[in-house]
Amino acid sequence: MKITIIGTGYVGLVTGACLAEIGNDVFCLDVDQRKIDILNSGGVPIHEPGLQEIIARTRAHGRITFSTDVKASVEHGEVQFIAVGTPPDEDGSADLQYVLEAARNIGRYMNGFKVIVDKSTVPVGTAERVGAAVAAELQARGMAGSASQQFSVVSNPEFLKEGAAVEDFMRPDRIVLGSDDDEMGRLAREKMKRLYAPFNRNHERMLYMDVRSAEFTKYAANAMLATRISFMNEMSNLADRVGADIEAVRRGIGSDPRIGYHFLYAGVGYGGSCFPKDVQALVRTAGENGQRLRILEAVEDVNHEQKEVIVRKIEHTLGHDLAGRTFAIWGLAFKPNTDDMREAPSRRVIAALLSRGATVRAYDPVSLDEARRVFALDLADAPDALARLSFATTQEETLAGADALVILTEWKEFKSPDFLHMKSVLKAPVIFDGRNLYEPETMAELGIDYYAIGRPHVQIDTTNHTAAHERA
């Protein structure tokens, strides 16, 4: 099939590459010439495991094209995926300007029946606004109602995890499709069913529903996952107070099949492009419809506060005035296997340390370039603080002479470091672990002062080398 992808961000680029991989003829459009130049030169503007190899392979076979030519993109695809950004507006609602501009462009240039797919995460009712925008352009062309200018807007939300997006797309657990129950809607459903047929060979993964329910499903899914994270973070803070170990608690409740282990880890809060803005957008949608989502309001509040928990542990141990202190930071991206810095907890934690006079040396396996750009913007009004932030090219570089190590992203390479070497180069063997990578007892046996989230701080008895539990 001939497919057009509008937008080459995470969702658009993964969708386009994977659909080209299974044999479709894919045209990827973006108005950002820089992105298109990178893609046409063999690069990829985002870090996503496996993506660059698929793009190189499909380009070599002529199955994927990258361009800024809007007219050509509309003429190309019988199916038009809208996969542009929907950033949060000032009031927390999703900003649909890019979605609606894409819709208008389709209306300006369409030359036959089009299936218009809302792939971006959009509020309930967006498909109707997209359809109205397309119809308005057809009306302006004097072609409204023409049999050759018919279209149907469907909702096909994405459920991709950054860092595992290619795998998620190629082996989906479900494919949600919302369509109208009229002649055009049924035709669109059949085209989408044919497009996704290669993913349904083992068993049927398609879930058909009305458009509004499909739009709502995406928000509800992300809100549930965010709720699990904030729930565990709130439990971890209570565990600190009452003397429980949140890891033992996690195993205890996660073994219940009704609960399970997914998204049940305590830490420094969630970030990224999805959970923060989707929770805000759903709360905003509820407000517009005369309802409060009190649980999700609390989820958002807990997540905001959780990003300061590790800072409070540092203050409790080393004092509020951190002038003259140096901190090694491991992990900047909001999660492993991505360079995405959007809403990353590291931004709040590092800014807090710098505001207290500290010096910070930071490392991340893939997000250093993006981190330099982001922190230059975050600290533009604080040049003195920015001057105290530096970036290392290896995790070991961050450690020499540092007063403590702070872990903010659970990259695999951080899970088994050389602790004896770490002790020898740190000014003091202190770790503040925002991702609970290590065992407190093991750290105590190694002579490392270890502070985690909702886990016991094991005080080292330097007299007889035994360890006694003491809450942080």
Write the CATH number for 83.
Answer: 3.40.50.720
**Phi, psi (5° rounding) for residue 456?**
-65, 140
Tell me if the pTM is above 0.75: yes
Which of 178, 209, 240 represents a domain boundary (last residue)? Answer: 209
Verify that 100 and 30 share a domain, yes or no: yes
Range of the domain at 333: 307-470
Low-confidence ranges of the chain (pLDDT < 70): 144-148, 461-472
DSSP code at position 243: T
Which of 149, 180, 209 represents a domain boundary (last residue)? Answer: 209
Verify that 32 and 127 share a domain, yes or no: yes
Asked whether residue 277 is assigned to any structural domain, the reply reads: yes
Biggest alpha carbon–alpha carbon distance for the chain: 89
Verify that 75 and 87 share a domain, yes or no: yes
Which of 271, 289, 305 represents a domain boundary (last residue)? Answer: 305
Verify that 436 and 424 share a domain, yes or no: yes
Asked whether residue 271 is assigned to any structural domain, the reply reads: yes
Verify that 301 and 371 share a domain, yes or no: no
* Residues acting as catalytic residues: 274
- Which helix H or strand E contains 325, and what residues bound it? none
Quote the pLDDT of residue 57: 96
Quote the pLDDT of residue 88: 82
Quote the pLDDT of residue 466: 46
Asked whether residue 265 is assigned to any structural domain, the reply reads: yes
**9 closest CA partner among 25, 31, 40:** 31
Quote the pLDDT of residue 472: 47
Q: Which amino acid is at 62?
A: G
Asked whether residue 214 is assigned to any structural domain, the reply reads: no
Verify that 301 and 420 share a domain, yes or no: no
**Phi, psi (5° rounding) for residue 26?**
-115, 130
d(CA 160, CA 49): 13
Verify that 153 and 249 share a domain, yes or no: no
Asked whether residue 89 is assigned to any structural domain, the reply reads: yes
Q: In what order do the strands lie in the sheet with 2-6?
A: 64-67, 25-29, 2-6, 79-82, 114-118, 151-155, 175-178, 206-209
- Exposure string of 64-83, with b = 16+ CB inside 10 Å and e = fewer, is bbbeeebeebbebbebbbbb
How many helices (H) and strands (E) the chain has is answered by: 18, 16
Verify that 183 and 300 share a domain, yes or no: no
Asked whether residue 165 is assigned to any structural domain, the reply reads: yes
Q: How many domains does the chain have?
A: 3
Quote the pLDDT of residue 157: 96
Asked whether residue 256 is assigned to any structural domain, the reply reads: yes
**308 closest CA partner among 428, 188, 453, 169:** 453
Verify that 232 and 189 share a domain, yes or no: no
**371 closest CA partner among 354, 353, 400, 392:** 392
**113 closest CA partner among 166, 74, 162, 58:** 74
> Helix 97-109 to helix 126-140 angle, to the nearest 10 degrees?
40
Verify that 238 and 298 share a domain, yes or no: yes
**103 closest CA partner among 121, 87, 76, 84:** 84
Verify that 447 and 368 share a domain, yes or no: yes
In this structure, what token pair is assigned to residue 116? Answer: 């218009």
Quote the pLDDT of residue 467: 47
Quote the pLDDT of residue 145: 65
**171 closest CA partner among 121, 214, 205, 207:** 205
Q: Count of CB atoms within 10 A of residue 277's CB?
A: 23
3-state DSSP call for residue 214? helix
